[in-house]
Amino acid sequence: MRAAAIQTTATADRADNLRAAGTLVDQAADAGAELVVLPEYFSVAGSARSINERAETLDGPTVSWAAQQAERHHIWLVAGTVPERPDPDSTETRLRSTSCVLGPDGTVAAVYRKVHLFDVHMEGAEFHESATFAPGQALSTVPLSPTHPDGPGTRAADDLGLPVDPVLGLSVCYDLRFPELYRILALQGATVVTVPAAFTAVTGPAHWEVLLRARAIENEVFVVAAAQIGELPGGMPACHGHSMIVDPWGTVLAEALDGRPGMVVADLDSKDQERVRRQLPVLANRQPATYRWPHGN
């Protein structure tokens, strides 16, 4: 399967953001990508007030746009994050930071609501995401059937339990610092994990690449990370960019190094993943009977 990670600099204008993202989705599809990942906040960025004013339901303009893109190009599209309005019947008034997977037929195949919220107090990166968003309560995986009749993903399952088709595990940005989430996704069958992000320019140089590669290595999965780059509106922290695609050995297959919006593309070789899992069977060698969380944790 060929994957693309798209890098944008979002504004507070949804229409402008979707036009810019659409151009890059077109480029990714023209390059043969079957899986395209958009960044966190790709549809709208800005202050808490601005985001609340532009929040929407999952049948709103952003997911509808993403469905059209996926169907038009016959691709799997991970629609970064959308500021999702709370259910009218819920006592929770905060939004959800929601990532949707659109299938090649334009239908919503999976939904993931960001679990770990970015509440930090560092110079240059102070942010309190939980003031605007409520944490999600569930993880999400979805099998990706081939997007072409004779395309990638048609291999048979083997003794490692690798599925017939790739399985996508969903995460968002700050989740990257919580390895237990990725291990659970891998144990649920994920072979590819997506990371839409707005990773900060303060922490990114030291942590972004090493964390992406660590999550790939320890779970023997492909990681497709699509990032915001540069200055975002409304007092949001500046973003590191450096969108990347990493293989299960931790090798960087593609990366955006020019500091601008754009996209990177790489082929995800399932046979290579099988080889890694056979030679270094980390998941099979686990000893779950000995693992205990400390009391209260």
Q: Please identify which of the residues 34, 40, 84, 129 carries the catalytic annotation.
A: 40
Q: Is residue 145 part of a domain?
A: yes
- Report how far Cα 102 is from the mean position of its chain's Cα atoms: 13
The domain tally of the chain equals 1
Least confident of 18-32, 36-50, 87-101, 123-137: 123-137
pLDDT at 181 over 60: yes
Q: Crossing angle, helix 179-187 and helix 204-219, to 10 degrees?
A: 30
Q: Please identify which of the residues 34, 56, 129, 173 carries the catalytic annotation.
A: 173
pLDDT of residue 265: 98
Mean pLDDT, all residues of the chain:
93
The yes-or-no answer on residue 84 being catalytic is no
pLDDT digits (tens, 9 = 90+) for 108-166: 999 999 999 999 988 767 789 999 999 999 999 999 986 544 443 334 444 455 556 89
Least confident of 69-83, 154-168, 204-218: 154-168
Q: Is residue 249 part of a domain?
A: yes
pLDDT at 39 over 80: yes
Q: Is residue 78 part of a domain?
A: yes
Q: Please identify which of the residues 56, 84, 114, 239 carries the catalytic annotation.
A: 114
Q: Is residue 295 part of a domain?
A: no
Q: Is residue 236 part of a domain?
A: yes
We report the CATH number of the domain holding residue 25 as 3.60.110.10
Query: Which residues constitute the domain of residue 244?
Result: 2-290
pLDDT of residue 165: 81
CA distance 70 to 276: 31
The yes-or-no answer on residue 271 being catalytic is no
Q: Is residue 296 part of a domain?
A: no
Q: Is residue 253 part of a domain?
A: yes
pLDDT at 290 over 80: yes
**pLDDT mean over 174-197:** 98
Is the model more confident about 140 or about 296?
A: 140
Q: Is residue 189 part of a domain?
A: yes
Residue 142: strand pairing partners? 168
The yes-or-no answer on residue 123 being catalytic is no
Structure tokens at 72: 């038009």
pLDDT of residue 168: 98
Is beta strand 108-113 parallel, antiparallel or unpaired with respect to 76-84? Answer: unpaired
